[in-house]
Amino acid sequence: MSNGHGGSAINNDLTEIFLMEKFHWLPQDIAKIPYKKIQKYFTIEKWKDAGISDKKSTQEMIKQLAPKNKKRK
Amino acid sequence: MFITDDEVIDVIVYYRQVGRVYLSYKESDFNENIKEEDKVKYKKLTVSMRILTWGLYNELQDAAWLRDENMEKSTWSNKKYKEEKLKKIIVKWDATMKNKKGEEIPAPINSNTIMSMSPNIAETILSAYDERSIFSEEELKK
């Protein structure tokens, strides 16, 4: 989904519910968090879900997942 | 972690008029691409802007929807998004304008002055602001 500035949009309702459940914040507290921090937090969470713990293993995983271009003989 | 209303970020833009058009650069692009001898031709504009919080982000997204006769969201407008963003985030600037006597006076921050900005300068301000406020997909991959 486009959010007007080229980045990935975050699902608003799910984000707030997640943060409320995990940190017991109120919606009015969540509204004051810098957008960039939320973006970063959810990217790290996504990595964790994928079993990726650091940058090196992320790059390794990308390499493994990338389709291999076999050279034609 | 939580941002108060009085916290701002400053964005610097350099611009100059060439004919009827304004050329404008973000500070980083200006320092990187403009030759030292040409830098004097540019004026500097410093704009203080509200920090993009989760609340402000959603407010801007919501304001960018065009609504039908039942006030239901119908189309998301990039133009409206940018206009609303400029109107809602700029809190201070050192822009000037000429009065009827031709004297330079500080330009007030209001809908009229914001909407009469050169499109190039407005786009540069937004781009510099986004660079500070939002991770691009490339940055998130790093």
Q: For A13-43, how does the pLDDT look when each residue is reduced to its tens digit (9 = 90+)? A: 788 888 899 889 999 999 999 999 998 888 8
pLDDT band per the 50, 70, 90 thresholds, residue A62: very low
Nearest-by-CA chain A residue for B53: A34
Residue A7 contacts B where some CB pair is shorter than 8 Å: yes
Q: Is A40 on the interface with B (CB under 8 A)?
A: yes
Q: What angle do CA B12, B107, B45 make, to 5 degrees?
A: 15
Closest by Cα among B36, B31, B81 to B59: B81
Report pLDDT for A67.
41
Nearest-Cα residue of chain A relative to residue B142: A55
Q: Do B58 and A34 touch (CB under 8 A)?
A: no
User: What is the predicted pLDDT for the residue at B11?
Assistant: 96
Question: Of B1, B135, B141, which is closest to A39 when you measure between CB atoms?
Answer: B135
Contact by Cβ (8 Å): B34, B25: yes
Percent of chain B with pLDDT over 90: 80
Question: Which tokens in the block code for residue B72?
Answer: 């239901």
Average the pLDDT over B9-31 and give the result. 95
